Amino acid sequence: MKRFLLPAFFFALLVVILFVGIQRAPQKTIIPSALIGKSAPSFTLPVLGSTEEFSESAMRGRWYLLNVWGTWCPECLNEHEMLLEIARSEVIPMIGLNWKDEDSAAMSWLSQLGDPYDVVAVDREGEVAIDWGVYGAPETFLVDPCGIVIYKHVGPLNREIWQKQFLARLPSKGSGS
Amino acid sequence: MRRVLTVLLSCLMVFPALAIDPIEMSDPVLQERYRNLSHELRCMQCQNQSIADSPVGLAGDLRREVRQLLEQGKTDQEIRQHMRDRYGDFILFRPEFSPRNAWLWITPILLLLIGLGVAIRIIRQRVTLAPSDPSNPDESGSSGVRDRSV
């Protein structure tokens, strides 16, 4: 009987490993950001519909969201209502990063659907997006007052994700703007 | 028949030659390094393709980034690290050793050592058993019974 103990143990181990693998399979397409806990990559980009420029250093000392979007991205349309809701709650300022898009299309999108962003920075060539490790819109980053990336969500936001992953990470009161 | 087959099969060989990325770098040495690097980096949008094989926009942006870094005189290792800092280990098709993936590298060696240990134990048992019963040529058939008695 004793001789079956070791094989049985390894079999049980294999079952556990495979079970965990199957359980986690749906998350396989979501790759954790390499930036978590590191400084947000700096950038200076033109502001949508303006001659001004925006730099992420302007947000130092405040919590903020960076939302990567484009009018070509269907999931961005899906999360837009949620973004408007977040903006209305005035919990935290939201910076838009308009990724590889046309300025005119982006402006008509915002005027038709509503504008949840405090500022929209335009990344036409996608260079800043690479620095931020963006691989698919929409992506939303949470950055703390020291400019450290705290969290990143890939895919459209909904109320549950917003409360569990973002609000829960914010200090309970008096944050943001 | 054979000729027809030859023609048909050679048609198949046309496809790998289709280039997604038509841009050539001025320096053939850089072009070669660029070719190698772009095959080593994963396209994060279509995860089983390299950025050299992927037609999506992000892959094109990453190829441009690689070309720019090469022109700036960065080494291959620096470029890999540059991508890894932004996208994590996952972007490398050949991941490098890090504390997070250490078990991936160590497990095969560990399993090999365990296997070796088991093999040595079994061989030793057989060696010590053999002289005790030299008259019996049917060693393997009854070894299971003997193992238990040891």
Report the DSSP beta bridge partners of residue A152. A141
Q: Is residue B10 part of a domain?
A: no
Q: Which residue of A has its CA nearest to B86?
A: A133
Q: Which residue of B has its CA nearest to A34?
A: B88
**A interface toward B at CB cutoff 8 Å?**
3, 29, 31-35, 41, 100, 125-127, 129-133, 135-136
Of B73, B96, B119, the one marking the end of a domain is: B96
Residue B17 scores a pLDDT above 50: no
Are residues B86 and B25 part of one domain?
A: yes
The predicted pLDDT at position B132 comes to 57
Are residues B143 and B106 part of one domain?
A: yes
The predicted pLDDT at position B9 comes to 67
Smallest Cβ–Cβ distance between A133 and the set B45, B47, B86 belongs to B86
Contact list, B58 vs chain A (CB under 8 Å): 126, 129, 135-136
Q: Which residue of A has its CA nearest to B81?
A: A34
Q: How far apart are CA A63 and CA A94, in angstroms?
A: 9
Are residues B111 and B92 part of one domain?
A: no
Residue B7 scores a pLDDT above 80: no
Are residues B76 and B44 part of one domain?
A: yes
The predicted pLDDT at position B129 comes to 75
- B37 touching A (Cβ < 8 Å): no
Number of domains making up chain B: 2
Are residues B32 and B86 part of one domain?
A: yes
- B104 touching A (Cβ < 8 Å): no
What is the tens place of the pLDDT at every residue in B94-148?
Answer: 877 777 778 888 999 999 999 999 999 999 998 887 665 555 555 554 444 445 4
To the nearest whole Å, the CA of B61 is away from the closest chain A CA by 7
The predicted pLDDT at position B83 comes to 94
What is the fold of A35-169? Glutaredoxin (3.40.30)
The predicted pLDDT at position A119 comes to 96
Are residues B84 and B31 part of one domain?
A: yes
Are residues B109 and B87 part of one domain?
A: no
Are residues B79 and B138 part of one domain?
A: no
Domain containing B51 equals 20-96
Are residues B114 and B138 part of one domain?
A: yes
Q: Is residue B4 part of a domain?
A: no
Smallest Cβ–Cβ distance between A34 and the set B57, B61, B87 belongs to B87
Of B96, B122, B141, the one marking the end of a domain is: B96
The predicted pLDDT at position A175 comes to 45
Domain boundaries, chain A: 35-169
Residue B150 scores a pLDDT above 90: no
Amino acid at B128: T
Mean pLDDT of chain B, nearest integer = 80
Asked if B119 and B69 count as a contact pair (C-beta separation under 8 A), the reply is no
Are residues B84 and B43 part of one domain?
A: yes
Are residues B88 and B39 part of one domain?
A: yes
Q: Which residue of B has its CA nearest to A1?
A: B148
| DSSP secondary structure, chain B, as one string | -HHHHHHHHHHHTTGGG--S-----SSHHHHHHHHHHHHHBBPSSSTTSBTTT--SHHHHHHHHHHHHHHHTT--HHHHHHHHHHHH-GGGBSSPPP-GGGHHHHHHHHHHHHHHHHHHHHHHHHHHHHGGGSTT---HHHHHHHHHHH-
Smallest Cβ–Cβ distance between B44 and the set A35, A132, A135 belongs to A135
Q: Count interface pairs A-B at CB distance under 8 A.
A: 42
Q: Which residues does chain A have with pLDDT short of 70? A: 26-29, 173-177
- Over range B2-13, report the average pLDDT: 69
Q: Is residue B11 part of a domain?
A: no
Three-state DSSP state, A51: coil
- B87 touching A (Cβ < 8 Å): yes
- Over range B57-81, report the average pLDDT: 92
Of B96, B124, B140, the one marking the end of a domain is: B96
Count other C-beta atoms under 10 Å from residue A92's C-beta: 20
